Homo-oligomer: A and B are copies of this chain.
Amino acid sequence: MNEKAIVARLAQLAEIGKHAGGIDRALATPQERRARELFAKWARDGGYALTQDAAGNLFARRAGARTDAAPILVGSHLDTVPTGGAYDGAYGVAGAMCALELLDRRGITLQHPAEAVAWAGEEGSRFPLGCLGSSAFTGLWRLEDVLALSASDGVMLRDALNSAAGGLLPDVPARDAQRTAAYLELHVEQGPVLERGGVPLGVVTAIAGQRRYSITIEGESGHAGTVPMQLRNDPLGAAAEVVLAIESSARDAGETVATIGRFTVEPGGTNVIPARVIFSLDVRSPLDDRVSMVEEAAHRALETAQRQRRVQGSMECLEARPPAPMDERMRAAVHRAITGMNERAIDIPSGAGHDAMCLARIAPAAMIFVPSIGGRSHVGAERTADADLERGVEALAAAIIEVDAALGEN
């Protein structure tokens, strides 16, 4: 690989599904399939053994010295959110391929096979399951249940993967079931921390747990002119207190984010005291007890509002996903690799979900982040500087070497 291989490969991928606002490559569409075809071409050009599984995951295998060893998997995903960008997922897949080539070019022999992997449907943007391919691969979801998922247009994944338009690649052998020795994923940060800290690399400590809630506060509506302040049971004032209590508890908890993104006030007339406020709450932290702290703070604030403001509050948990800590020995191996490059890295939690969440359930896993310009993510305008992209690939290759060695010590 030449020095600019990663930049050139991302530019190639970015042409697939490109439109005015960004990139659309939903799972098992013609666009996403063209991206898989490009991955297959890269694998063949590199001399790597290409396989796929029934969920649509693609594997490009670089052989290791120990033919009986389980492989180190290195990957990410090729699908995008609607009107997504050129880096989220694509960087980790193209970067894995570039890292394998870098090892070849440097004449490095690993003990373990190393496979570049393109996981199917991480974004959940067509079929209603995020990390679809890696969920099936790791057994978190049964394959038959995954294949039975229906897209919003009514098409079943099973049929979509059998179609010529967006289906599995022809003439690619099925992958044998086998153990996974370790997992590495290279990804753009999708947030502003590395850029603002002036640090080129991040080693992920854990993928945050996430709980999503719906909070409702019921008060009493009335005429904006005729109900004195002291006789009001205004749910908006109560909601404002709860919003600030949640924000403050997330700040105090540390390594925790709480977001209220949807917020509706009913009935919504400018001259009507609100009857009801309904809002969402999304809390994430690599530490589950911190999520609980914010949840408890929200409960306390609701109780206080009920007592002091004569309103009725309720809070429903819609979804709870535990944190996925990355493996300590894997993280240490990645840090050694980066130190060996004379580069700096910080430990950083991942607030977004990744395929590594699933892989961490079956193998020691680690992730490397590179900076996102302006912290922008999930938009056509997401960017990472070329130098940062190349540095990330170097770090990934070095990490594969360190992990191979660390596994060998087992």
> A225: CB under 8 A from chain B?
yes
Interface string of A348-389 (1 = CB under 8 A from B): 001111000000000000000000000101100000000000
Residue contact A191 to B227, C-beta cutoff 8 Å: yes
Select the stretch in A111-119, A168-176, A259-267 that faces chain B.
Answer: A259-267
Residue on B with the closest CB to A274?
B261
Residue contact A273 to B251, C-beta cutoff 8 Å: no
A251 to chain B: closest CB distance in Å? Answer: 5
Which residue from B208, B244, B272 sits with its C-beta under 8 Å from A240? B244
A337 to chain B: closest CB distance in Å? Answer: 24
Known: A260-B236, A261-B268. A284 touches B224 (CB 8 A): yes
Known: A191-B222, A191-B223. A262 touches B251 (CB 8 A): no
Q: Interface size bucket, A side?
A: 35 or more
Q: Give chain B residues whose Cβ lies under 8 Å from the Cβ of A192.
A: 222, 226-228, 231
> Interface of chain A, helix or strand or loop or mixed?
mixed
Give the contacts of A235-283 with B (CB-CB under 8 A): 236-237, 239-241, 243-244, 247, 250-251, 256-265, 267-274, 280, 282
Residue on B with the closest CB to A271?
B282
Give the contacts of A275-301 with B (CB-CB under 8 A): 280, 282, 284
A130 to chain B: closest CB distance in Å? Answer: 11
Known: A243-B237, A271-B261. A352 touches B223 (CB 8 A): yes
Residue contact A377 to B226, C-beta cutoff 8 Å: yes
> A44: CB under 8 A from chain B?
no
Give the contacts of A197-240 with B (CB-CB under 8 A): 208, 210, 212, 222-231, 234, 236-237, 239-240
Give the contacts of A75-101 with B (CB-CB under 8 A): none
Q: Identify 11 residue pairs between A and B in the complex whose beta-carbon atoms are under 8 Å apart, listed by A's number.
A: A208-B225, A222-B375, A224-B257, A227-B351, A227-B375, A228-B257, A259-B271, A261-B265, A261-B270, A263-B268, A270-B282
Q: A interface vs B, CB < 8 Å? A: 189-193, 196, 208, 210, 212, 222-231, 234, 236-237, 239-241, 243-244, 247, 250-251, 256-265, 267-274, 280, 282, 284, 350-353, 375, 377-378
- Listed from nearest, the 10 A-B pairs whose CB atoms lie closest are A225-B351, A191-B226, A224-B259, A240-B240, A270-B280, A263-B265, A240-B243, A226-B351, A190-B226, A225-B352
